Structure 1
Amino acid sequence: MFRKVWINCSEASGDMYAGALTREMLRLCPGLEIGGMGGAMFSRAGGVVHFPMELICFSGFLDVLRGLPGIFRLQRRIVEFWKRDRPDCIVMVDCPDFNIPLIKAARTMNIPVYYFMAPQFWAWKQQGMKTMQKHVRNIICALPFEPEYFQNRGCRAIYAGHPLQDIIPLQSLDRIAPNQRQIGIMPGSRRKEVAFLLPDFAEAARRIRRNMPWMTFRIARAPGISEKHLRRFWPDDLPVAIVEPEERFQMIRESSLVLAASGTATFETGLIGTPTIVSYKLDRPAAFLVRRLAFSRFVSLTNILFQKELFPEYLQERANADSYYRQIVAWLRNPNHLSDLRNKLQELRHIAGPTGGMTAAARTILAKNTTVEA
């Protein structure tokens, strides 16, 4: 019977999912001990952080290359911890490059492994499918097409639904009317993402403010990113409000549109129903690799699920203030189009699948291995 569960997550969205999963597992099985690698949300939910996820917070090829010795050392430390204080099962959350080697180590110790938030092998050429086939007891999928994808490749996979459907308070947010004079900004959860994107976001905002002085701007601060770091890349003479991480859903809903770094944020904005301009930049070596490895036409999950570019995507060379400014002006001058886009986004909640995904994931992990309360 499970008494100890290890959860491994290593970036901001993974920490959010790990926290929600931890909370649900403890609700179903209050006596469970949950520890692992994670951040503040995992900890607040009742998980014990043995290794802070900031230890591997890298962005870009050169960062990862320089950090490889530390990554390998951290993986060894985690395995040594398992040998001293063996968990009954291990739950990996996303981040396959870091987690796949740990899966192999766990299986040599005969510790069952589950994968929550399946790696997006369907979007990128990645190593690790054979490891998933051989060593993962169950892949708990968030997207409707993922179970078939993994099952066709010999993996055990089930569909639970996307946890954001449960995490975001969609019904209460739907009662909030958007403020047509507010633009939201979500520059990423890594320091280098902020450094790459926020200066051009700020320049676009300056131009908007010059021509539309009534417009206001709010930046959602991601966990692990300080307000000081954000203000380094924002002009002192351009008014802006910094929104705390737990307030970002309301900020998204209140905004007429959002400028966002590609990632979980652009799926959050899609589910909430706010038109979003998607952007991303990488250092040149990483960008070269991504272009060679990418399968998907789009980077935003909202666009991937619609199979259509509802959210304009500005990547690499196109990720600049001119692009953002032109797109923002085009949208603000056509409020009927923005309204139509909001209405279209309501379909995303149906496309993304049912609510209750977090409970389904928790029950899958705990099934037949522990006593679960009704």
Structure 2
Amino acid sequence: MKPLSFMLIAGEASGDLLASELVGALRERVIARSINDTADVQPLRTALAPEFFGAGGPRMAAAGVELAFDLTQHSVIGLSDVLKNISKFRRLFKQLLKLAIERQPDVIIGVDYGGFNLRFGKAIKAYVRKHRSEFVPWNPKIVQFVSPQVWASRPGRAYTLAENYDLLLSIFPFEKNWYARRVPKLRVEFVGHPMVGRFTSAECGVRSAESNGPTIVLLPGSRNDEVRRHLPVVTGAFELIRKELPTATGKMVLPDESLAQTVKSSGLPAGLELQIGGLTDALAGADLAITKSGTITMECAMFGVPAVVFYKTSWPTYFIGKQIVSVKYLAMPNLLASEEIFPEFIQHKATAENIARAGLELLRDESRRRAVKATLAQIIASLGGAGAAGRAADAILSLKP
């Protein structure tokens, strides 16, 4: 019997981590299952040593995924960056499509990276419709792990998802009902948020050491353009806070040395140190975070750290986003709470003065800090227990062949 074969595509660092966890859970379950399943409804067949291949990053490679290339190295943000790199992405897309057709995996799993993965799923479905026959029976299941945020912009895309996905794995509790009201034929499973369980209770919500003043974590981004755009804002806000609270200290956490060199060349204000990696330790010891919007806001929530959220992008990207984004907030903790627990400052409002003022309020108002922490605890409790990757693997393996 041919081993069960999975193709995975992850284009960003967060998806690379999530995919690596999913691979471990799938491998464990496939090996543990009997080849002869006696259930009335036959799930996807099982066999020892499942095959994993596709495109992703170093964590997927370490998990045993055979990578055609490191897609995370090509990550871009904003409309202008996408347009600059469109020919490159077309080439990578065609390369992956050719790989899928040659290898004919049983399941194709897109991990986050919603736009690219949806186009890939559509291309696979179109190919199958055109070429499938009794001589070419290949008809892979198409799975998306982490829903595109269609509920935030262009909700009509939900119908496109329903046409091209066999299974959508959701990490936020409200998404399953949202899809059920609009596209009931799309199978959606809430598997919980993957961050729950990655950190121990000792790490979350416990400050690492006593200090004379508050510790502020600055998180300007993980891409060079982001950091360059955000650096004057976050360092300026830190300096303004320190004028009011001279004992405050800060850590700017960056993912790699190249970004650290970018920051060092611009100079650092007094009281602020650079840290490469170690976000968990930094948040465990933080009293406040000043962070760009994105997945990182959920990590702040996980650690119970009050945060000020900001973002600046190119004006063309911002203008288009304003036309299509329909939600009130950008930070996911705010969306889940249906209120602005983390103050948000986007584009022209993302000034050092605005961010510093909001940060000082969160540092000085103890009753507000307690209320924010209580709301964050409620949010985390709603996200499901540890084991999102395992629940996702179970849902994938339940698909009928």
Give the TM-score taking structure 2 as reference length.
0.85
Alignment partners' CA distance in 2, 1:223 and 1:136? 35
Structure 1 residues 225 and 24: alpha-carbon distance in aligned structure 2, compared to 1, 3 A threshold: farther
* CA 1:61–1:224: 2 relative to 1, 3 Å: farther
2: CA distance, partners of 1:172 / 1:256: 14
Q: Distance in 2 between matches of 1:230 and 1:21?
A: 35
1:151 to partner: Cα distance = 2.6
CA contact (8 A) 2:283 2:303 kept: yes
Q: 1:96 aligns with which of 111, 114, 118?
A: 114
Contact residue 178 and residue 255 of structure 1 kept, 8 A: no
Deviation, structure 1 residue 91: 0.6
1:129 matches 2:147: no
> What corresponds to 1:322 in structure 2?
353
Task: Look up the equivalent residue of 2:95 and give its one-letter code.
Answer: R
Q: CA deviation at 1:79?
A: 0.6
Aligned-partner Cα distance in 2 for 1:123–1:26: 34
The Cα shift of 1:80 comes to 1.2
Q: Deviations over 1:135-156 (max 9, x none)?
A: 2111111111111222331311
- Paired position in structure 1 for 2:14: 13
In 2: Cα distance, 1:368 partner to 1:155 partner: 13
1:274 counterpart (292, 305, 311): 305
8 Å contact 1:9–1:18 — kept in the other structure? yes
Kindly indicate whether residue 168 of structure 2 is the aligned counterpart of residue 150 of structure 1: no
The Cα of 1:55 is off from its aligned counterpart by 4.7
Q: Does 1:168 align with 2:203?
A: no
Query: 2: CA distance between counterparts of 1:254 and 1:222?
Result: 18
Distance (Å, rounded) in 2 between the aligned partners of 1:294 and 1:191: 25
- Cα pair 2:306 2:362 within 8 Å, conserved: no
CA pair 137-354 structure 1, distance change in 2 beyond 3 A? same
Aligned residues: 368
| Structure 2 spans left out of the alignment, 5+ residues | 32-48, 129-138
1:52 aligns to 2:93 (yes or no): no
The corresponding residue for 1:362 is: 393
Establish whether residue 238 from structure 1 lines up as the match of residue 270 from structure 2.
yes
Structure 1 residues 24 and 225: alpha-carbon distance in aligned structure 2, compared to 1, 3 A threshold: farther
List alignment gaps of at least 5 residues for structure 1.
Answer: none
8 Å Cα contact 1:113-1:136 kept in structure 2 = yes
Aligned CA distance change for structure 1 residues 225 and 119 (closer, same or farther; 3 Å): farther
Secondary structure of 1:167 counterpart: coil
C-alpha deviations, 1:268-322, integer Å up to 9, x for none? 1112110010011110111011111111100011000000000000000011111
Q: Determine which structure has more spread, i.e. the larger CA radius of gyration.
A: 2
For 1:336-351, what aligned pairs fall within 5 Å after superposition? Answer: 336-351=367-382
Q: Which moved more, 1:177-186 or 1:148-157?
A: 177-186
- Is residue 2:201 matched to residue 1:201? no
8 Å Cα contact 2:153/2:327 also seen in 1 = yes
Q: Are the equivalent residues in 1 in contact too, given 2:107–2:142 (CA < 8 A)?
A: yes
Out of 274, 278, 287, the residue aligned to residue 318 of structure 2 is: 287
* Aligned counterpart in structure 2 of residue 65 of structure 1, from 83, 87, 93: 83
User: Identity across aligned pairs (percent)?
Assistant: 24
Provide the rounded CA distance (Å) in 2 between the counterparts of 1:303 and 1:209: 27
Which of 204-213 and 97-106 deviates more? 204-213
Matching residue of 2:251: 218
Distance 1:254 1:46 in 2: 34
Q: Which runs of 4+ in 1 moved over 4 A?
A: 177-180
State whether structure 2 residue 143 is matched by structure 1 residue 114: yes
1:63-84 alpha-carbon deviations (Å, 9 max, x no partner): 1111111111211111112223
Distance apart, 1:178 and its partner CA: 7.0
Corresponding residue for residue 30 of structure 2: 29
Q: For the residues of structure 2 that align with 1:190 and 1:83, how far apart are their CA atoms?
A: 33
TM-score when normalising by structure 1: 0.90
CA distance in 1, matches of 2:94, 2:209: 49
Structure 2 contact 176–190 (Cα < 8 Å) conserved = yes
Quick check: 1:20–1:167 contact (8 Å CA) kept in 2? no
Tell me how far apart the structure 2 counterparts of residues 260 and 126 of structure 1 sit (CA, whole Å).
27
SS of the equivalent of 2:214 reads: strand
Cα distance 1:230–1:11, how it changes in 2: closer, same or farther (>3 A)?
Answer: farther
1:4: which partner in 2?
Answer: 5
Of stretches 63-72 and 15-24 in structure 1, the one that deviates more from structure 2 is 15-24
Partners of 1:97 and 1:224 lie apart in 2 by 29
Q: 1:130 to 1:346 in 2, by over 3 A?
A: closer
Give the deviation of 1:368 after TM superposition: 6.0
Partner of 2:214: 181
Which residue among 278, 288, 298 is the counterpart of 1:257? 288
**2:307–2:359 CA contact under 8 A, matched in 1:** no
> 1:353 & 1:84 partners in 2: Cα distance?
38
Alignment-mate amino acid for residue 311 of structure 1: F
| CA gap 1:345/1:130 in 2 versus in 1, 3 angstroms | closer
- Return the alpha-carbon distance in structure 2 between the equivalents of residues 140 and 236 of structure 1: 42
- Decide whether aligned partners of structure 1 residues 16 and 126 sit closer, same or farther in structure 2, where only a CA change above 3 A counts: farther
Is the Cα contact below 8 Å between 2:173 and 2:383 reproduced in 1? yes
Separation in structure 2 between the aligned mates of residue 274 and residue 72 of structure 1, nearest angstrom: 40
Over the aligned positions, Cα root-mean-square deviation in angstroms equals 2.3
Distance (Å, rounded) in 1 between the aligned partners of 2:248 and 2:328? 33
Q: Following TM superposition, by how much is the alpha carbon of 1:227 offset from its aligned partner in structure 2, in angstroms?
A: 2.3
Say if 1:223 and 1:164 are closer, same or farther in 2 by CA, change over 3 A: farther
Give the Cα–Cα distance (whole angstroms) in 1 for the partners of residues 104 and 11 of structure 2. 20
- Give the drift of 1:239: 4.5
Give the C-alpha shift of residue 97 in structure 1: 1.6
Q: Is the 8 A contact 1:204 1:322 kept in 2?
A: yes
Distance in structure 2 (CA, Å) of the matches to 1:230 and 1:24: 38
In structure 2, relative to structure 1, the CA distance for the partners of 1:219 and 1:23 (3 Å cut) is farther
Alpha-carbon contact 1:2-1:89 (below 8 Å) kept: no
